[in-house]
Amino acid sequence: MTQRAVRETLRDERRDPGPDDDPAGVPADDGEHAASGDDDGGTPPSDGDDDGIPASGEDAPAPDSGGGRRPRRRMLKWVAAVLALVLLGAAGAGYVYYRHLNGNIKQNPLNLGDHKVAEPTPNAAGQTPLNILLIGSDARDSKANQDLGGARETFGSTPLADVQMLLHLSADRTNMSVISMPRDTLVRIPKCTDPEDGTVYEASNGRTMTNQSLGHGGPGCTVATWQELTGIHIDHFVMVDFAGVVAMADAVGGVPVCVDANILSRDSQGHGSGLKLPEGTHPVKGEQALQWLRTRYGFEDGSDLARAKAQHMYMNSLARELRENADLSNPNKLRRLAEEATRALTVDPGLDTVKKLYDLSNELRRVDPERITMTTMPNRYVGARVEPTEDAEQLFRLVREDIALDGKDEEPAAEAAKEKKSAASAEPAAPDDRIAVQVVNGTRTDTLGTASGRASTVAGLLQEKGFTGATADTVGSLSERLTLVRYPSADLKGDALRVAEALGVPASSVRQSTDVSGVTLVVGADWREGTAYEAPEQDDTTPESAKALNGADDSACMKVDPAYTWS
């Protein structure tokens, strides 16, 4: 196809999407995705072997305002920006707009669980943020993927979501945040139903490693797990497979990465990705890029946390490189990249056509590397696994409230809070005397026992304020650092916000949760006495434990474990 024909196809697509661009249709489950991780599932260096692939496909969709034809050079810059920010996604498709590429893209339902999170309230300009879950699977379900290595016993087995990254694009499209969750984080996996065969996977009994969520019906269960843990509304997901990572990394050219010493990621037992690089900064592509993304043995302490840091470094470097990469002016390279990208992708129905991915590029192209922040979910060890900490909840709250993790929001915090409070009060609610509220005592802490009678006291306070349906749970008790109002479904959000408003509880402490059957007030450790709630001062800074890495930081260099060096 000539370049002129490509441009005419693009113009026709934008004028008339046609049947191939219909986002409706029955999703088909296909387990190819993007990849990562060791087969052992453990975080500590001594756990298992390193044969997975932490690759990330970053994707974030949003409607495009349309517009006429633009100069080719400018279009190429948009494409480059998408490739950088969607990391190994379907970026080149914005230029190479072939209809048959739509058929390459695999799709799965967005959410397989019962847990739904209400969409965020639009800002003053009517804009809402975009949240995209990027999933890497250790599936080895094709010859191409198996040829790339990994433990033989995992071929054809139930895939694990060994890379999970939440990409948040701000409502005003000025900044982007990424949160990586370690694959062995202990979470509650909700009840999910496999869309292909109808198999019902009951909610996990207790906490389970988050990477197992993918095996409970597909990526939609991983989405459901994230939403239940974080309270963040997720708009889309993207998965990319092993072979796709290699092919796309090769198609876009080398990405500079840095190590502070010679590294060979391989030990005497055969553990490691096989990455071999001399000290300094070097471009990696193809299989070597894949090795970088999957390396655990040899980076810092050999944990998944160190590997996430290396992934962030790669993603930021790719973002910078592609904004100035002249190789993308080659139409053949763009076409090859588009082919590989679309074949590698598994997405939800909202991203299932090239046009939707092209529209996405128009949103992502606005974000400069200086406004991209990569983080890892703050965590602590529980035996050989990890769990979220209080800092993790703070990080999740910043994303829920669309607060930039780089601390460079232009809108004053006080005005933003006022605007959000006003928007929250607009949610429809039943009359106070018609709102049923259960009050639970959650004042227990690691060092203090449960404060006696708090559920009854606060329930009485609500009744005095006109909430005659308020009752105290005098049997149960919880442990919550902050006072929260929980509600099970979107239709009760307004009622929950009204209860919070009556008590002076901030809207940020109102959460949707399937753990409750109705509006539930949990009196936290911050309200152990008295009848007047004083909300603690909110800290809107990114926790240091999130190990934030700015997208413009080109000085980052991975520390090499001396046991994995060579001379």
Q: Give tens-digit pLDDT for 236-290.
A: 999 876 666 666 667 667 889 999 999 999 998 988 999 999 999 999 988 898 8
Q: pLDDT-derived band of residue 9, with 50, 70 and 90 as boundaries?
A: very low
| Residue 229 pLDDT > 70 | yes
**pTM (2 decimals)?**
0.73
Q: Which two tokens stand for residue 199?
A: 């198999």
Three-class DSSP labels, 123-181? CCCCCCCEEEEEEEECCCCCHHHHHCCCCHHHCCCCCCEEEEEEEEECCCCCCEEEEEE
Provide mean pLDDT across the span 93-114: 77
Provide mean pLDDT across the span 370-394: 93
Distance CA 339, CA 104 (A): 8
Provide mean pLDDT across the span 428-443: 96
Provide mean pLDDT across the span 72-100: 47
* Dihedral angle, C-alpha 406, 409, 410, 415, nearest 10 °: -150
Distances from the Cα of 229 to the Cα of 215, 501, 514, angstroms: 18, 24, 11
Helix (H) or strand (E) holding 15: helix 3-15
Q: pLDDT-derived band of residue 394, with 50, 70 and 90 as boundaries?
A: very high
Helix (H) or strand (E) holding 223: helix 219-230
Provide mean pLDDT across the span 425-449: 90
| Residue 40 pLDDT > 50 | no
Residues 374 and 315: beta-carbon distance below 8 Å: yes
Helix (H) or strand (E) holding 493: helix 493-503
Q: Which two tokens stand for residue 57?
A: 């496909």
Judging by beta carbons within 10 Å of its beta carbon (0-12, 13-18, 19+), is residue 473 exposed, middle or buried?
A: middle
Structural domains of the chain in order of their starting residue, each with its CATH number: 3-405 (3.40.630.190), 415-527 (no CATH)
Structure confidence by residue, pLDDT tens digits, 489-524: 889 999 999 999 999 999 889 988 878 999 999 999
Structure confidence by residue, pLDDT tens digits, 307-348: 889 989 988 887 777 666 645 556 676 677 777 778 878 999
Side chain identity, residue 393: E
State the Rg of the chain over Cα. Answer: 24
Residue 552: name the closest of 411, 402, 408 by CA. Answer: 408
Most confident among 8-17, 129-138, 155-164 (mean pLDDT): 129-138
Residues 233 and 131: beta-carbon distance below 8 Å: yes
Distance CA 99, CA 14 (A): 12
pLDDT at 362: 67
Residues 40 and 300: beta-carbon distance below 8 Å: no
Helix (H) or strand (E) holding 461: helix 454-464
Q: What angle do CA 531, 479, 181 make, to 5 degrees?
A: 125
Provide mean pLDDT across the span 547-551: 94
The three-class DSSP label of residue 46 is: coil
Residue 66 backbone dihedrals phi, psi, to 5 degrees? 80, -145
Q: Work out the angle between the directed axes of helices 3-15 and 354-364 (0-180°, nearest 10).
A: 90
Distance CA 317, CA 315 (A): 5
| Residue 157 pLDDT > 80 | no
